[in-house]
Structure 1
Amino acid sequence: MTPNPQSSGRLRPVDLARAHGLSTQAVRNYEAAGILPAADRTPHGYRTYTALHAQALRAFLALVPAHGHATATAIMQAVNRGATEDALRLVDESHAQLLDDRRTLQAAEAAVGDLDPVPQGRSTTFVGPLSRRLGVRPATLRKWERAGVLQPRRDPQTGYRVYSAADVRDARLAHQLRRGGYLLAQIAPLIAQVRSAGGVAPLGSMLRDWRARLAARSRAMLTGAAALDAYLGCRPVPPDDGPSAPGTAAPATDPVQPPGGSR
């Protein structure tokens, strides 16, 4: 009878996979991508993992909701090659981006407050001045027009686009929402509601949803940081802080059991 590899502190790909609802191929792919440390092999060529690999997988899966798949992958790759400073820099950059997103949300909320009411009269502008005011290219405004976000009229004499005060309001809203990660296909119907309602009331629910998503990402960053710190604590520190050789990580002094326990 084949002995259970967990009885000796060794884990099979299926053991890691089952604990997280993954396929064994996904675990192999994570190892091949450098997300997990290189596995040892049995005399017959089968992969064997340890508690260190289980902790690495937990760290990666916790980092993904906080930083996205690509950045989470880069963080784990850096840690596994011994470049901890590179990994921490990537974490810091994500925190900086989140702070910037919060400032963008605040700007969008401020913009909404500044947009109502629309000035009366025949205040108009052209594509060049409006693009400079928003810090976008004229081609971007034309793209927004094709998507139905903007509806400037054309000057009958010159054919130039002419943006009214309401058009400028719509452009400012679109600009802030694009910075918040919304697609033009999502923005266009909202702007249409703003036009038909004559105000910005429909934006309230979208801004609340945006704030909730940022809060969820902040919480995910806390969870990801804790899992990453636990993994860093399991890894040996290279004497010269240089790259670690694959497959040479020593087990933690207090081994972490794989999620779900032995199976």
Structure 2
Amino acid sequence: MELNDFSPWRIKPKDDFKLNNIDTLPKAKDLPTEEEWKDNLKKLGDKLNKQQSTLHASKQKGLLVVFQGMDTAGKDGVIRSVFTHISPLGVRAEAFGAPSELEKNHDFLWRVHQKTPARGEMVIFNRSHYEDVLVTRVRGWVKKDTCEARYEHIKNFESMLHDEGISIVKCYLHISKAEQKKRLQSRLDDPLKHWKLQPSDFEDRQLWPKFAEAYEDALSATSTKNAPWYVVPADSKPYRDLFVASLLVQTLENMKLEMPKPLFDLSQAKLD
């Protein structure tokens, strides 16, 4: 089960859409069994590993993968599942929490730029620069017109990365409020998951409509040809994983990566 057509889930630039109108689950026939999930994820992981090895060796291009979503949407889980078969060489994940005092004294993209991929790298953002047009807006720390100005800064920033050889894929992990309730309850019931819980998880749940509106505006304003947003149905963890893995395989294949030529004439190499 490898997905190929992602156009139904890709947000068009300045698209006036509502998250409530987008399914958080695929059709029943498209839901993978556990066996299909494991088998196909392994096959996709092997493809990703091969492509990532070529990316790392050639050092001509880079890949930035951005994951955003409501609390419990599965950002940690999808990173753990999709990238488990990939060599850690040339791959890193970066998490963005509340900015430090030093970071607050710089522009909002300052801390982000330092963590973007070098050529030859694949970097995964667990949350990202988009927090500064989402949480900040919903909490009332910045005004809506400030966010709109930041949308333009973000587009210019991502356009510059693209021009420097960095491909960008942005995934909004789309879960329902009912599914979030199940996942939060699971964490409450499991002492080994208590460390994941924060007061903001429950406070933000009460602000669900405001977060949805902030996401709709941000995704619509910043989904571009070279840095598109995809809304990933994420109520099903197996389908979410296969969707993201398939999307990344397709993205890397479209980058037309090639292994570098040998540094010397290998025909002259002799082994005694």
Normalising by the residue count of structure 1, what TM-score does the alignment of the two structures yield? 0.22
> Could you say which structure has the higher helix fraction?
1
More strand by share: 2
Q: Based on CA coordinates, which of the two structures has the bigger radius of gyration? A: 1
Q: Which one scores higher on RCO, CA 8 angstroms, separation ≥ 6?
A: 2
Normalized against structure 2, the TM-score is what?
0.21
